[in-house]
Copies of this chain bind each other. A is one copy, B any other.
Amino acid sequence: MGSLVEELVGVLGAAQVSADETVLASYAVDQAPVLDFQLPEAVVFAGSVADVQAVVRLCGAHKVSVVARGAGTGVSGGAHASRNSVVLSLERMNRILDLNPEDETAVVEPGVINAALNEAAAPHGLMYAPDPASFRTSTIGGNVATNAGGLRCAKYGVTRDSVLALDVVMADGSLIHTGHQTFKGVAGYDLTGLFVGSEGTLGIVVGATVRLKYLPREVHTIAAFYPDFRQAAAGVLAVGRARVQPAIMELLDGGTLAQLDEIHGSDLSVRGRSLLLIQTDGFGAAAEADVVRSVLAAGGARVSTEATAEAEQLVELRRNSRGAEVDDQYRVGEDVAVPRSRLVDYVAVLEDLAAEHHVNLKVVAHAGDGNLHPTFWVDRKDSAVDTDAMERLNLALDASVTAALAMGGTITGEHGIGQYKLRWLGLEQPEPVRQLQRRIKDLFDPAGILNPGKAI
């Protein structure tokens, strides 16, 4: 493979190509569990669309795979290196090419950080709505590749709903433009939607035109503590029944509250065994918050009367709760979604599974979407004397996924299939549907060089 690296250096220059072992190792995986660790042949840092085209063409000629990568914050292994691959980092392509406050659109390179786009949009009274927990570090390109969700999805939609057009480098190195600059457009098939969430397996997104939404002038945050998790989940349905659409509706269970207390010295656990955090926004925010407060109080919640600042701090804690994992635990986590009416039932199933398999459980949920992130865990010190702990963790995990599917749910609400969730995909999608996707993949990438073994 030396010759491929040499050719890459020849075309792109040495500053954009690395075969250094340390670099290869740090770009070999994203933040997902690693099932099959592989070092790439090289890491290439593209600076332009032409660079991406050159890399794809060279790799194609050498029959080497291309694993496109943003910030590597994915949690499903969509950016894990595969055997005989080059990792193509798009993080240096980080320019906001256009931000038009009248059109309410922006054109960005794939490496633009989600938060950076929001910072650029805010002075114009605009925001880029999709806000995955990783928004401070993840890239728009990565968000597009995984069709990332976030906290604000229930009201503002997922990444797909904010993407109007894409520039995509195809497997043969050609460049196409899909979609439209306008809010609406129905000319031909929805190629844009097909690329969104395809994890770099159909083409490499090198540019995106996104729609911006209005930054709400008023935000009200409500913290509602409950004696147990099931009652909190019922609160989510009660807010729905009142036909109020919050911008954010996050559910945290007792295990999550205890962990946050440990890390941040807060006293959340004292205040309740479960927390429902709700934000309303926009011109109706105050009126909506009033309805939410009364509905939740009627359902047994201790509803905060504290200053918005304090409740907002809780939202910040929630946003960071994923980053707070600790090293003295073994954990397996998921990203299922269930129909909203099944939230309470599903939470009950999770609690039963934790008890049955003698593992600990903590759950956070984008409850407005029915999207849950349950984590089963055991203390590392216990597992030293408890050799089947990992097996029990995995049994609980598998059972939690099966239970979500049995309720009409999905195995992934927003993280994507990547490499990690392929094991469950056949449980959700029957063979003809999977076969159709494989044939689409073959059509777009006949040689199979684009991020093989991911997504489908």
Contact = CB atoms under 8 A, between A and B. Distances in A.
A279 B125 CA distance: 21
Nearest to A172: B432
A338 B183 CA distance: 8
Interface string A416-456: 11000100010011101110110110010000000000011
A307 B414 CA distance: 45
A223 to B, nearest CB: 20
A47 interface: no
Nearest to A105: B339
Contacts of A102: 237, 240-241, 340-341
A188 B456 contact: yes
A446 to B, nearest CB: 11
A294 interface: no
> How many copies of this protein are present in the complex?
2
A160 B193 contact: yes
B283 A146 contact: no
Interface residues of A, number: 91
A100 B339 contact: yes
A411 to B, nearest CB: 6
A177 interface: yes
A412 B371 CA distance: 35
A425 B187 contact: yes
B339 A182 contact: yes
Contact of A184 (B178, B191, B284, B337): B337
Interface in A312-330: none
Given A182-B370, A189-B197, 17 more contacts: A102-B237, A102-B340, A126-B243, A146-B186, A160-B193, A180-B337, A182-B410, A182-B413, A183-B340, A184-B369, A184-B370, A185-B410, A186-B417, A187-B428, A189-B440, A282-B284, A443-B443
